[in-house]
Amino acid sequence: MKTTSDFLKMKAAGEKIVMITAYDYPAAKYAEAAGVDMILVGDSLGMVVLGYDSTVQVTVDDMIHHAKAVRRGAKDTFVVVDMPFGSYHGDPNEALKTGVRMIQESGADALKVEGAGEVLYVIKKLVHAGIPVVAHLGLTPQSVGVLGGYKVQGKTAEQANQLIEDALRCQEAGAMAVVLECIPHQLTEIVSQKLEIPTIGIGAGPEADGQVLVFHDLLRYGNHHIPKFAKEFANVGAQIQKGIEGYKKAVKEGSFPAPEHCFNMKEEELFSIYG
Ligand code: KIV
Ligand code: NA
């Protein structure tokens, strides 16, 4: 399994870090078999797996439940788990307790938290307790209400400067990497050059040290809204739809189950049933 120091080396060597989200055992197995560098159990699971319309309904227990399944499917891949909405903004000691519980119960390798400001103290506390932390700046979906929608962030010089400062502060606080979501690619380039720790972009251009995409977006699996920045690498959803429709048709017309799907009883046994 790669470690936090491997990710630093990858950045220094200019080798891109590949991250994908996963929320269950089969997805984690596929991701590990493909050899991705990191898996994120994102709170995006609220939307793509649980059918909520934002990430704010997701609970700590939801995250642990899914992270456990991912861990079982990807024993040799670095797994990061999102701390969900509201779980790290109150008493920092509570945040630490919650973070420790998430790591202990799920077996994941690291946690991810959104934002800087007061969250910097939480990053410091978690890292001090020995938990690697990934920061997340730019579009931070847990703050969608405050941001006023899912919009590109850091477009003005003032916002960009703030983001650069926040990224440097996350690094100082001990973060192992920073996810940059939905920011202009020029800003990604500046932040990536200023930081020693890797940046992992989503909707942030090719200049990031790594990329992350949501499993269900890049494979077109599910019927949630798919953002503009997500490329379709396969259309699994269309295959699933076709498969289920084929099954329905076969049952209705009586072509399934066929003889090869049936179990047989010996004739003499059959005779003794009917006498
Ligand atoms: O929850 C998630 O999937 C994320 C990624 C989009 C970075 O936080
Ligand atoms: Na997330």
- The ranges assigned to domains in the chain are 4-234, 239-274
Does ligand 1 have an atom closer than 6 angstroms to the CB of 58?
A: no
Q: Which of 19, 38, 81, 82 to mutate to test the pocket of ligand 1 (most atoms within 8 A of CB)?
A: 82
Can you read off the two tokens belonging to residue 29? Answer: 């197995």
- Select which of 172, 181, 189, 196 is catalytic: 181
User: Which residues are within 8 A (CB) of 149 and not within 5 positions of it... i.e. 6 or more apart?
Assistant: none
Q: What is the pLDDT of residue 275?
A: 58
To the nearest 10 degrees (0 to 180), the angle between helices 60-73 and 25-34 is 50
pLDDT digits (tens, 9 = 90+) for 162-190: 999 999 999 999 999 999 999 999 999 99
| DSSP code for 183 | -
Does ligand 1 have an atom closer than 6 angstroms to the CB of 211?
A: no
To the nearest 10 degrees (0 to 180), the angle between helices 92-106 and 60-73 is 30
Verify cis geometry, omega within 30 degrees of 0, for the bond prior to 257.
yes
Q: What is the mean pLDDT of residues 44-62?
A: 96
**Percent of all residues in the chain with a pLDDT value above 90, rounded to a whole number:** 95
ipTM over 0.95: yes
CA distances (Å), 30 to each of 103, 222, 241, 273, in order?
Answer: 23, 17, 20, 48
Backbone CA torsion sign across 111, 116, 117, 121: positive
> What's the one-letter identity of residue 87?
S
**Percent of all residues in the chain with a pLDDT value above 70, rounded to a whole number:** 99
Under CATH, domain 4-234 is a member of which superfamily? Phosphoenolpyruvate-binding domains (3.20.20.60)
Does ligand 1 have an atom closer than 6 angstroms to the CB of 21?
A: yes
Report whether 242 belongs to an annotated binding site.
no
pLDDT digits (tens, 9 = 90+) for 132-152: 999 999 999 999 999 999 999
pTM attached to this predicted model? 0.96
pLDDT digits (tens, 9 = 90+) for 212-236: 999 999 999 998 789 999 999 999 9
Range 102-105 contact pairs with CB under 8 angstroms and sequence separation of 24 or more: 102/60, 102/63, 102/64, 102/67, 103/131, 105/64, 105/68
Report whether 112 belongs to an annotated binding site.
yes
Closest atom of ligand 1 to CA, residue 213: 6
